[in-house]
Structure 1
Amino acid sequence: MIDLKNRVAVITGGSRGIGEACVRYFTQANGRVAFTYKNSAERAKQLETRLQGKAKAYRTDMESETEIFRMVERAAEDFGGIDILVHNAGIWNDGPIDRLTLEKWNEIIRINLTSAFLFSKAVLPFMKKNRYGRIILISSTAGQRGEAFHSHYAATKGGMISFTKSLAVELAKFNITVNSVAPGWVDTEMNNEVFADKKYKQEIINSIPLGRIATAEDVAGPVLFLASDLAGHINGEILNVNGGSVLCG
C-alpha cells in the first residue's frame, strides 16, 4: 500500500543502523534514495551496489555547512529533485556535567542539531518548488524526558523536537509536513558498548513493557509511514518508538 514511486529521499547516516534500514525500506517501496555516510565508505558502497541503482552514497561531514549543501545539490542533480528528508545521522556519548567540556558540548550540538537545521534548509527550495515535501527528523526519548549523564545529547534531541514543531507550522502552507520519530533504546552498533554489559542490557529489556529492545527496522517502519501519502495529514507529530517505556508525546 505504501508506494514511493517517483519520490526521491535524502537519508542521512544511511550506511548503518536506523539509517541503513530506512534506505532499504524506502527502496523496497519503490523510492530512490540519496544517503550520506562519513567513515564507513566500504559499507556504503556495498549497500549502493546491492540496491542496484535505487540508491546512491555521498560522503558528507555533518559539521560542514559547505558539504551538506553540496550533497543536497548533487543529489537533486543526480535524481532530478528531492521530495523527502530523513535526518538520522548523529552521535551519542557519555557526558557527566562536571566532566563535559565545551568542545564536546559544541561537537554534539553541531553534529546532531545544527546539521538538522542545515539539511532542512538545504532541501527546502526543491520541496517548495514542487509544493510537496516530507521532513522526518530522528530524535529520541532523551529529548522528551532528559537523560542524566547525557545532558548534551538530550539537549540536541530536545532541540530537534522543538525544531520539528516549529517547522511543521511554518512550512505547512507549502504542503510540506515535518514530523519526528523518537526511538528509545535500539539494538544497533552505536549501542554495542553499552549492551556489552549483559546485566545492564537485561535491565533495559525488563524496563520495556513489550519485553524487547527495538531493532533498526522497528524504527524504519514508522519513518516510512510518515514519508508516505498515508501520513498526509500528520504534521508536527513526535512518534514514539520505545515499546511503551516512555509514555509522552
Structure 2
Amino acid sequence: MINLQGRVALITGGSRGIGRATAILFAKANADVAITYHVNENAAKSTLEEIQRLGRKAIAVKGNVGKSEDVKRMVKEVMDYFGRIDVLVNNAGIWTYGAIGEMPEEVWDETMDVNLKSVYLFTNEVVPIMKKQGWGRIINISSTAGQRGEAFHSHYAASKGAIIAFTKSLAVELAKYNILVNCVAPGWVNTDMCAEVFKDPNFVEQVKSTIPLGRIPGPEEIAGPVLFLASELANWITGATISVNGGSVLCG
C-alpha cells in the first residue's frame, strides 16, 4: 500500500543500524535514497548495493554530520544528483557512557554535535528545498532516553529530549508549507550501537525483562514506523512522537 515512487529520501547515518534498515525499506517502497556516513565506507557501499539491487537510485555522501560545512556540501551533493529532497530522516547518532561529575566536556560536546546539532544543520539546509517543492516530510529519530531520562547517559538523554521539543516546534512552524515533522522514539534495538553491552547475556536478559513484548527488536522494526510517517497514510500527523519500544516506556 505504501508507495514512495518519485520521492527522494535523505537518511543521515544510513550505512548501518536503523539508518540502513530504513534506507532499504524506503527503496522497497520505490523511493530513491541518499545516505550519509562518516567513516565506514564498506558499510555505506554495502547499503548502496542493496538499494540498487532493488532497482532504485542511490548515493552515499561522506562527512561529519556535526559540521556545518560538511552538511552544506552533503546536501548539495544530494541535490546535484537527484534534484530534489522529499523526505529527511535525521537518524545519525552516538551513545556513550558519561557519569555526571566525571564526564569530560568533549564527550558532552561530541554527543550534542552528532545527535542534536546535526538535526538542526540538515533540517536548516533541507527546509528551503521542501518549501520550494511545496511538500516535505521530516522524521527525527529520538529515543526512550529522551522521554524518561537515562542515568549515566544524561548527555545522550538530553540530546534526544531536545529532538522531541525541536520536532514539536517545527511541526507548527512548517505546517503551512505542507511540511510534516514527526519523531520516532525507539527503545533498545539490536544494532552496532548496543553491540558491546549486549555481549553480556545477563544484561540482555535484564533488558528483555523490562520490555512487555519480551524481546529486543531488530532495526527493521523501527524502520517500519519511519516509512509510515513518510507516506501518504500519515498526512494528518505532525508534531507527534511515536514510541516504538515494545511497551517498555508508555508515554501519553
Given the two structures, how large is their TM-score scaled by the length of structure 1? 0.98
Shift, 1:148, TM fit: 0.5
Structure 1 distance, partners of 2:51, 2:201, is 35
Residue among 219, 223, 227 paired with 2:222 = 219
Q: What is the CA distance between 1:63 and its match in structure 2?
A: 2.0
Q: Which runs of 5+ in 2 are unaligned?
A: none
Q: Distance in 1 between matches of 2:150 and 2:9?
A: 31
Write the mapping of 1:36-115 to structure 2, written as runs, cut at 5 A. Answer: 36-52=36-52, 53-115=56-118
| 2:28 aligned residue | 28
Alignment of 1:120 onto 2:123? yes
1:202 equivalent in alignment to 2:205? yes
C-alpha distance in 1, partners of 2:104/2:38? 24
TM superposition shift of 1:65: 0.5
Identity over aligned residues, as a percent? Answer: 56
Partner AA of 1:227 in structure 2? A
Per-residue deviation, residues 117-175 of structure 1 (Å, max 9, x unmatched): 00001101110001100000000000010000000000000000000000000000000
SS of the equivalent of 2:176 reads helix
CA distance in 1, matches of 2:83, 2:205: 47
Determine if the alignment matches structure 1 residue 174 to structure 2 residue 174: no
Measured on the aligned residues, the alpha-carbon RMSD in Å equals 0.8
Greater mean alpha carbon deviation, residues 95-104 or residues 220-229: 95-104
Question: Is 2:166 the partner of 1:163?
Answer: yes
Query: Which amino acid in structure 2 is aligned with residue 188 of structure 1?
Result: T
Report the Cα distance in structure 1 between the residues aligned to 2:46 and 2:93, rounded to whole angstroms: 21
> Who is 1:5 aligned against?
5
Specify the code of the residue in structure 1 equivalent to 2:68. E
Could you tell me whether the CA contact under 8 Å between 2:136 and 2:180 is conserved in 1? Answer: yes
Counterpart residue type for residue 41 of structure 2: A
- Residue 43 of structure 1 deviates from its aligned partner by 1.6
Q: CA separation in 1, counterparts of 2:41 and 2:35?
A: 12
Deviation at 1:55, TM superposition (A): 1.5
Q: Using the alignment, how far apart are the partners of 1:37 and 1:246 within structure 2?
A: 30
Cα separation, 1, equivalents of 2:82 and 2:38 = 21
Match of 2:145 in 1: 142
- Partners of 2:114 and 2:47 lie apart in 1 by 23
Residue 62 of structure 1 deviates from its aligned partner by 1.4
Deviation at 1:77, TM superposition (A): 1.6
2:75 is paired with a residue whose SS is helix
Give the Cα–Cα distance (whole angstroms) in 1 for the partners of residues 140 and 47 of structure 2: 22
Distance of 1:102 and 1:49 partners within structure 2: 39
Secondary structure of the equivalent of 1:215? coil
